[in-house]
Amino acid sequence: MDYMKTETVTVTCAKCKAIVQVPVGGKRLCGCGAWLAGEAPRAVEPEPMVVRPADLKAWPKIEGDLSAIERLNDGYRRIQRELAKAIVGQARVIEELLVAIFSRGHCLLVGVPGLAKTLMIRTLADCLNLSFSRIQFTPDLMPSDITGTEVLQEDKMTGQRVFKFLHGPIFSNIILADEINRTPPKTQAALLEAMQERQVTVGGTKHKLPEPFFVLATQNPIEQEGTYPLPEAQQDRFMFNVLVDYPEEEEEFKIVEMTTTLQAPKIERVLSANDILEMQDIVRKVPVAPYVIRYAMKFSRLTRKDKDKGDIPQFIRDYVTWGAGPRATQNLVLGAKARAVLHGRYYVSCEDIRAVAIPVLRHRIITNFNAEAEGIKPEDIIKRLIEIIPRDPNEEALAQGKAPATISG
Quick check: 393 and 400 in contact, CB under 8 A? Answer: no
The string of pLDDT tens digits covering residues 251-306 is 888 888 887 877 777 888 888 888 888 888 888 888 888 889 999 999 988 888 77
| Residue 358 pLDDT grade (very low, low, confident, very high; cuts 50, 70, 90) | very high
Nearest partner of 174 among 133, 211, 146, judged by Cα: 133
Q: Give CA separation, 123 vs 117, 133, 173, 238, 280, in Å.
A: 10, 12, 14, 21, 20
Q: Which domains does the chain have, with CATH numbers?
A: 58-259 (3.40.50.300), 286-399 (1.10.8.80)
Task: Find the mean pLDDT for residues 207-225.
Answer: 82
Q: What residues does 241 pair with on adjacent strands?
A: 108
Distance CA 206, CA 213 (A): 16
Give residue 395's pLDDT: 63
Residue 50: pLDDT over 80: no
Q: What is the reported pLDDT for 396?
A: 58
Residue 191: count of CB within 10 angstroms of its CB = 26
Segment among 7-11, 149-153, 384-388 with least mean pLDDT? 7-11
The pLDDT value recorded for residue 333 is: 94
pTM of this prediction? 0.74
The mean-pLDDT minimum among 37-41, 86-90, 91-95, 142-146 falls in 37-41
**Rounded to whole angstroms, what are the CA distances from 293 to 300, 322, 327, 385?**
11, 22, 13, 16
Q: Do 185 and 231 form a contact (C-beta atoms < 8 A)?
A: yes
Identify the residue with better confidence: 374 or 224.
374
Answer whether residue 404 shows pLDDT above 60.
no
Average pLDDT, the chain: 79
What is the DSSP-derived secondary structure letter of residue 182? Answer: G
For Cα atoms 168, 169, 173, give the angle at the middle one, nearest 5 degrees. Answer: 125
Asked if 296 and 353 count as a contact pair (C-beta separation under 8 A), the reply is yes
Per-residue confidence (pLDDT) for residue 131, from 0 to 100: 85
| Euclidean distance between CA atoms 151 and 164, whole angstroms | 5
Judged against a pLDDT cut of 90, whether residue 179 lies above it is answered with no
Type and span of the H or E element at 147: helix 143-147
Dist. CA 409–CA 407, nearest whole Å: 6
Q: What per-residue confidence (pLDDT) applies to 46?
A: 41
DSSP state, residue 70: H
pLDDT value, residue 18:
66
- Cα–Cα distance for residue pair 211/90, rounded to 1 Å: 27
Q: How far apart are CA 219 and CA 188, in angstroms?
A: 13
pLDDT at 206: 82
Q: What are the tens digits of pLDDT across the range 239-248? A: 999 988 888 8
198's CB contacts (< 8 A; 6+ apart) are: 208, 209, 211, 213
382: nearest Cα among 355, 406, 343, 347: 355
Whole-number Å distance between alpha carbons of 117 and 226 = 21
The residues pairing with 166 across neighbouring beta strands, listed in sequence order, are: 149
- 308, 341 contact by CB (below 8 A): no
